[in-house]
């Protein structure tokens, strides 16, 4: 276990000043602000449209709006939605029978509504002549834009927590269904559809409503939302990390990230996964959160850079997360799909190449990577199937797979198709492409998941993707200890640590006691302070305020920043620090 405790910030935010007047908190204040705004827009006929993201608590929000505003009529889009049977028939080929994997949906939100009922609601709204009409729910703006348009938003991670607490998918009575199936329906369908709709109206709403915290809504004026996103796209920032237990989880993050000591373990930290993380604004001490995807969609070129945006569109292609097995167990033995397989099978256009960077390691830390020379591949597949079918016959992993010793600051490269997993006693900073759900487990060491059920194993997907020629010598020559010294200056040196030539992410490590010059070179940079207590990121031209980062924190430097520097700061001055930087090869 590490003896250090960092000052890791679990609640980072982009600071906005002089915006307090544009934010209100709590239902009474929100009702008052909406009432005043409606009165300014229209003295008689009034229409308020509250469009929501799937997962917003309708009972809480709609009840509060009805009680506070006392509308003369309410149109709830849930009443306009196709029946669950019709919806499932429409989605059958995308949801599949698999517990985990579906196919990426290309549906538009309009397809989920009954054509006649939606048209009738639109006619009602168009001819509304007196009092207050409230149009509420997912896709409410499809009925009409309204005198005032509010978008009720929340982060995907919060939606997942709500699934665990028993809510169902949008319009579905499936709260008791397996969490993974609810998540699958959101990941492959609902979130894709909802995001297309949200960003089609992103320039039209008057207010954004933060619904991440139960009974603590926060209403933020659109001008402040857009100002905050512009600022984030022009300066270094962090997304809000979240931590989660795992069947193999460890104890390192409890201490270093100051987490709940009474929890059994923490295995995951999503420290930079904009699809799942939120982005927070600090407005004169008050905190508002929204999905960090809002930034990716709103300012893709400023954030990603022109070439990265041209290649990936409105997707953030680099993912940083933590895998803590110190005091825990081995990760599942796994493989990721080849590019053509993920394209043809799941509708994704790029795959999950990745790497393991060892932030810390115990004396017995290991990484399983690549196959041993001369193995019988047919017998290995038979042994995998046998282990899946019988708890009494475990898979003999070390008969087939290389087990490499791992120490702090080692970097193991894992192009898709390479069998791998982290062993126990390792603290991994995982640097990968973003399609993080596409892990094909082959063996999970005979244990159960946190839900006391066997964790899903996908041999039917895994075996076709195994690259059988990635054996001991190839792995050692291509994937381990690939460090190259590149440059040095006054108080710093730069090294290339990977990734493999098949992977589109490049990584550079900088050791430094002085000021290190960096430049985004027109593409987004993602960095982690992998050694040292604290560092400061500065603009040579004072284009942004100095930005302080602490040990193990991941931060994003948008492409628009251009030149920036990093140096030790505070208690770290005079000591050696190190960062690991990832960017897209162009």
Q: How far is CA 274 from CA 320, 321, 579, in A?
A: 10, 11, 20
With a cut of 70, list the residues of the chain below it in pLDDT: 1-6
pLDDT score for 5? 60
Q: Strand, coil or helix: what is 453?
A: coil
Distance, CA of 271 to CA of 528 (rounded, Å)? 10
Q: Strand, coil or helix: what is 350?
A: coil
Is 14-232 a CATH 3.40.50 domain?
Answer: yes
For 67-194, strand residue ranges (E) read 73-76, 132-137, 148-153
Secondary structure in 3-state letters for 545-566:
CCEEEECCCEEEECHHHCEEEE
Dihedral of alpha carbons 62, 64, 65, 67, sign? positive
State the first-to-last Cα distance of the chain, in angstroms, to the nearest integer: 39
pTM: 0.96
Distance, CA of 292 to CA of 72 (rounded, Å)? 36
- Nearest alpha carbon to residue 400 among 417, 412, 382, 415: 382
Distance, CA of 336 to CA of 441 (rounded, Å)? 9
Can 242-275+307-478 and 484-584 be said to share one CATH topology?
Answer: yes
**Hey, where are the domains in the chain?**
14-232, 242-275+307-478, 484-584
Buried b (16+ CB within 10 A) or exposed e, 542-557: eebeebbbbbbbbbbb
Distance, CA of 228 to CA of 428 (rounded, Å)? 32
- Nearest alpha carbon to residue 440 among 333, 334, 340: 334
Q: Partners of 151 in the beta sheet?
A: 51, 208
Q: Residue 130 phi/psi, 5° resolution?
A: -155, 150
Residue showing tokens 């969609």: 297
The fold for domain 484-584 equals Jelly Rolls (2.60.120)
Residues contacting residue 384 through CB under 8 Å, at least 6 positions apart? 395, 442, 443, 459, 463
Instruction: For residue 238, give both structure tokens.
Output: 């962090």
pLDDT score for 4? 59
Cis bond before residue 499 (omega within 30° of 0): yes
Distance, CA of 326 to CA of 363 (rounded, Å)? 10
Q: Partners of 153 in the beta sheet?
A: 210
Is 242-275+307-478 a CATH 2.60.120.10 domain?
Answer: yes
């Amino acid at each position: 276990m590490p003896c250090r405790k960092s000052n890791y910030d679990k609640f980072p935010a982009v600071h906005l000043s002089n915006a307090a007047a544009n934010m209100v908190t709590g239902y009474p204040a929100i009702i008052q602000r909406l009432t005043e705004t409606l009165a300014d827009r229209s003295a008689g006929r009034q229409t308020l449209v509250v469009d929501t993201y799937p997962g917003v608590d309708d009972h809480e929000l709609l009840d509060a709006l009805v009680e506070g505003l006392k509308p003369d009529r309410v149109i709830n889009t849930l009443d306009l939605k196709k029946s669950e049977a019709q919806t499932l028939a429409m989605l059958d080929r995308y949801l599949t029978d698999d517990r985990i994997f579906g196919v990426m949906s290309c549906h538009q939100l309009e397809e989920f509504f009954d054509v006649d009922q939606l048209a009738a609601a639109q006619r009602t709204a168009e001819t509304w002549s007196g009092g207050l009409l409230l149009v509420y729910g997912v896709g409410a703006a499809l009925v009409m834009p309204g005198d005032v348009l509010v978008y009720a938003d929340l982060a995907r991670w919060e939606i997942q927590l709500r699934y665990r607490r028993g809510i169902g998918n949008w319009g579905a009575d499936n709260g008791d269904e397996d969490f993974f199936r609810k998540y699958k329906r959101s990941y492959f369908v609902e979130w894709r559809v909802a995001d297309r709709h949200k960003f089609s109206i992103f320039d039209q709403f008057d207010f954004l409503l933060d619904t991440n915290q139960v009974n603590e809504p926060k209403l933020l004026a659109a001008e402040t939302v857009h100002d905050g996103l512009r600022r984030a796209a022009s300066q270094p920032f962090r997304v809000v990390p979240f931590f989660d237990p795992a069947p193999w989880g460890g104890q390192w993050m409890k201490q270093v990230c100051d987490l709940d000591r009474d929890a059994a373990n923490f295995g995951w930290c999503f420290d930079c996964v904009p699809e799942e993380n939120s982005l927070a604004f600090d407005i004169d001490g008050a905190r508002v959160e929204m999905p960090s995807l809002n930034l990716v969609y709103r300012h893709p070129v400023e954030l990603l850079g022109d070439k990265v945006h041209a290649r990936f569109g409105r997707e953030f292609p680099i993912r940083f997360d933590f895998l803590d097995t110190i005091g825990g167990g081995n990760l599942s033995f796994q493989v990721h799909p080849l590019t053509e397989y993920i394209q043809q099978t799941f509708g994704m256009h790029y795959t999950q190449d990745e790497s393991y960077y060892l932030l810390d390691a115990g004396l017995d830390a290991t990484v399983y990577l690549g196959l041993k020379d001369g193995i019988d591949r047919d017998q290995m597949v038979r042994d995998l199937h046998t282990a899946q079918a019988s708890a009494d016959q475990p898979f003999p992993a070390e008969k087939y797979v290389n087990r490499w010793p791992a120490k702090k600051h080692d970097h193991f490269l894992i192009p898709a198709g390479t069998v791998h997993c982290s062993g126990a006693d390792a603290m991994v900073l995982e640097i990968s492409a973003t399609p993080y759900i596409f892990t094909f487990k082959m063996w999970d060491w005979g244990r159960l998941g946190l839900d006391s059920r066997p964790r899903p194993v996908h041999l039917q997907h895994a075996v076709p993707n195994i690259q059988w020629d990635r054996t001991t010598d190839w792995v050692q020559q291509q994937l381990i200890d690939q460090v190259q010294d590149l440059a040095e200056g006054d108080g710093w040196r730069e090294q290339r640590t990977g990734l493999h030539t098949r992977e589109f992410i490049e990584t550079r490590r900088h050791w430094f006691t002085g000021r290190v010059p960096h430049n985004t070179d027109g593409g987004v940079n993602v960095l982690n302070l992998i050694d040292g207590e604290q560092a400061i990121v500065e603009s040579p031209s004072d284009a942004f305020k100095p930005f302080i980062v602490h040990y193990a924190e991941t931060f994003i430097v948008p492409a628009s920043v251009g030149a920036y520097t990093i140096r030790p700061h505070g208690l770290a001055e005079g000591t050696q620090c190190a960062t690991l930087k990832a960017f897209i090869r162009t």
